[in-house]
Amino acid sequence: MADGRKSSAKGFQVEEWQNLHSWSGWWTFPPDLFDLEEDQECAFAVAKRLKPLKVKSGDNIFRIGDPGRSMFFVNEGRVNVEIERQTVDELLPGCYIGEIGMLLAEDRIANVCAVGDSEVLELTIEDFYELGILFPTMPARLHRQLTAGSGKVNKRIGEALQRLRRLANADLHPTLYGTKPSDKEKEGRAKSIAEWNKAMKEHDHQDQLTELTKAFPVGSIMRGEMKDWATTTEITSQPVLYAMGINKVTAEQLESLKMVPWVRSLQENELAEMVARLKPRKMTVSTVVQEATDRPESIFICSAGCLRVMEGSQEGLNTHIIRRGECTGLAGICPSRKGVAMLEVVSVDDAEVLEITSADLRKIFFMFPSMWSNMGLLRSLSRVLPSISG
């Protein structure tokens, strides 16, 4: 899509002494950007900086790939916007074009050529930023027009809108300036503009970073890992995969974890936070996984081999075996009615265990309130299935 907007024409006379480029004539300006009753000073400040360009019929105002350093107001004649040799828009006096490429400092994505002899008035990116500081209503109005006229907000328009919001709210990078550069300063100013655009992209990333981090509550391990843009996008796109790398959890171990009944219903960010807190352990035959205790401080998920669980309760001593995808130790987080008096866990053969402390599991439940439904399932399982409870 072209960056132009069609508007009903209004205007006023600009005298030569009122323009920095000694241009005089009638400026047909877009009323959706300027209101002479409310923004007369802004309109005249823009007119002061406009640079006239006479374009012959068939000549290009800009081509695909040209650097986006300015926007253009159609003042006389008519211009066409072409993409892949197809005319996608026709602009009459009172229209403007090129504002998105200018805001993003990106190359042009369309050809714009004159249909008949025409005149366009150029406003450079330096002047636009200067005017945006002096008259915040101008970027605010352009923001409204882009929002209203774009149909759907694609990525380019979305980034341009963010920059306009910052300009309108005076949330600006210090490399912006309030005076027009001299010829000697242009090279330095061009470097400053490039630095500003780089800084603005970092600001945009920070805004998006804030939104992305909301997937994980304050205090979560995953949120603590979100220290830069690249890491944050990696985490939000594949949170579980990233979490596996924190404690070197293998794919086979993850599948074992997913076999546990109360884990199956976890959302991806909930599962990722749990995986980030797991401690994988490898056991040889007869290794004591959990010494005899009346209050287990960890939950153990068997991911390979077998574990012998010995528990004592009011009903006496009970011994059973747990295998891959089963767990023990839940009495530490949701004691069952039968009253566990003692728990001991020993490996029967070479085995692998995923350990998560009861304290960490409770933290996860409090971080993700939706997981309280899993707490009910935990309690039911700990009462009914001794092979799963501790």
Look at 329 and 98; give whichever has higher pLDDT. Answer: 98
Residue pLDDT, tens place only, 179-220: 445 566 556 656 666 666 666 666 666 666 777 777 888 888
Q: What confidence score (pLDDT) does residue 179 get? A: 44
Residue pLDDT, tens place only, 209-224: 777 777 888 888 998 8
Q: What is the 3-state secondary structure (H, E, C) of the chain?
A: CCCCECCCCEEEEECHHHCCCCCCEEEEECCCCCCCCCCHHHHHHHHHHCEEEEECCCCEEECCCCECCEEEEEEECCEEEEECCEEEEEECCCCEECHHHHHHCCECCCEEEECCCEEEEEEEHHHHHHHHHHCCHHHHHHHHHHHHHCCCCCHHHHHHHHHHHHHHCCCCCCCCCCCCCCCCCHHHHHHHHHHHHHHHHHHHHHHHHHHHHCCCCCCCHHHHHCCCHHHHHHHHHCHHHHHHHHCCCCHHHHHHHHCCCCCCCCCHHHHHHHHHCCEEEEECCCCEEEEEECCCCEEEEEEECCEEEEEEECCEEEEEEECCCCEECHHHCCCCCCCEEEEEEEECCCEEEEEEEHHHHHHHHHHCHHHHHHHHHHHHHHHHCCCCCC
What pLDDT band is residue 384 in, cutting at 50, 70 and 90?
very low
What pLDDT band is residue 50 in, cutting at 50, 70 and 90?
very high
Mean of pLDDT values over 338-352: 77
Of the candidate ranges 4-18, 53-67, 117-131, 344-358, the one whose mean pLDDT is the lowest: 4-18
pLDDT reading at 364 higher than 80:
yes
Residue pLDDT, tens place only, 95-149: 999 988 888 778 888 999 999 899 999 998 888 887 877 787 788 788 777 776 5
Q: What confidence score (pLDDT) does residue 39 get? A: 76
Q: What confidence score (pLDDT) does residue 219 get? A: 84
Average pLDDT, the chain: 78
Q: What confidence score (pLDDT) does residue 376 get? A: 55
